[in-house]
Copies of this chain bind each other. A is one copy, B any other.
């Protein structure tokens, strides 16, 4: 059993209204010196195999097909 963590973030240049809202909220709460906030997603998957190479290939395919919209998002995979 391998645990994979997929982190999906917006590509540079893609507008992030959610991040902007958080930036505003942090300012309103009195936090100063926040330059920029970008929000992304993280997925923790348990893959039922002991073959790390296979797990990585599988998770990559899952990202391309379902987990990430590769037009506007980047993803990184880290295996545990």
Contact = CB atoms under 8 A, between A and B. Distances in A.
How many copies of this protein are present in the complex?
2
Given A66-B26, A67-B22, A38 B33 contact: no
Contact of A36 (B29, B32, B45, B67): B45
A42 B1 contact: no
Q: How large is the interface on A (under 10, 10 to 19, 20 to 34, 35 or more residues)?
A: 20 to 34
A3 to B, nearest CB: 9
Contacts of A25: 66
A14 interface: no
A45 B34 contact: yes
Nearest to A61: B31
A67 B32 CA distance: 16
